[in-house]
Chain A
Amino acid sequence: GAVVSQHPSWVICKSGTSVKIECRSLDFQATTMFWYRQFPKQSLMLMATSNEGSKATYEQGVEKDKFLINHASLTLSTLTVTSAHPEDSSFYICSARERTGTGLLYGYTFGSGTRLTVV
């Protein structure tokens, strides 16, 4: 089945630094990738939609200058948390949809997530 690889699985950074998270579709092409954030004991919150070759679309309340998304190829999207602060500490998850998928919801595959801790 489709596999989405997310790296790193966890990262600790100092306040004020930037962190990059990679999301790769390993065996399929993904026109669209999605980034979610999940705080402890809460549900996933969609942050942005990443479209290959174009600008990302951010959900309301998500700072696009803080969470930089780049989708340079059909298999790679990156999320950069700039000038990270402790309140950015969270679990970040990406998902991807196969380009040639039937469109059914099960066409979405999730990465394993990245635990970001800002100290």
Chain B
Amino acid sequence: LAKTTQPISMDSYEGQEVNITCSHNNIATNDYITWYQQFPSQGPRFIIQGYKTKVTNEVASLFIPADRKSSTLSLPRVSLSDTAVYYCLVGVSNDYKLSFGAGTTVTVRA
């Protein structure tokens, strides 16, 4: 899997938008970009996945520039319950081994 780099931590306040950028300079042509969310003492939970341009679901948006060497997860109007670790993963659809990086700890304050 392609190596990813993301900020270690980010702080925000309730109601703000949080944008987490992940760098994946050696992303391969067939690689998808996936983000997971993990709360303390729980397993990771899928947030969003994309290949190029923009993907949006009820939870977040994922922006992927044309060169695909980075991606940005956007969490709109965060609440205290969005405090978690967010992981960016890059890999091919048939690669069955998920390799987690350090992730980004997002702390939302009142």
A interface with B by C-beta (< 8 Å): 4, 6, 32, 34, 36, 43-46, 49, 91, 93-95, 97, 102-106, 108-113, 115
Contact = CB atoms under 8 A, between A and B. Distances in A.
Contacts, number: 58
Contacts of A97: 96
Interface of B: 32, 34, 41-46, 49, 87, 89, 91, 93-94, 96-103
Given A43-B102, A49-B97, A105 B89 contact: yes
A93 B45 CA distance: 12
A32 B98 CA distance: 12
A105 B91 contact: yes
Given A49-B96, A105-B32, A105-B49, 14 more contacts: A43-B103, A44-B44, A45-B100, A46-B97, A46-B98, A46-B99, A93-B44, A104-B49, A105-B34, A105-B98, A110-B43, A110-B44, A110-B45, A115-B41
Nearest to A104: B93
B60 to A, nearest CB: 13
Nearest to A107: B93
Nearest to A108: B98
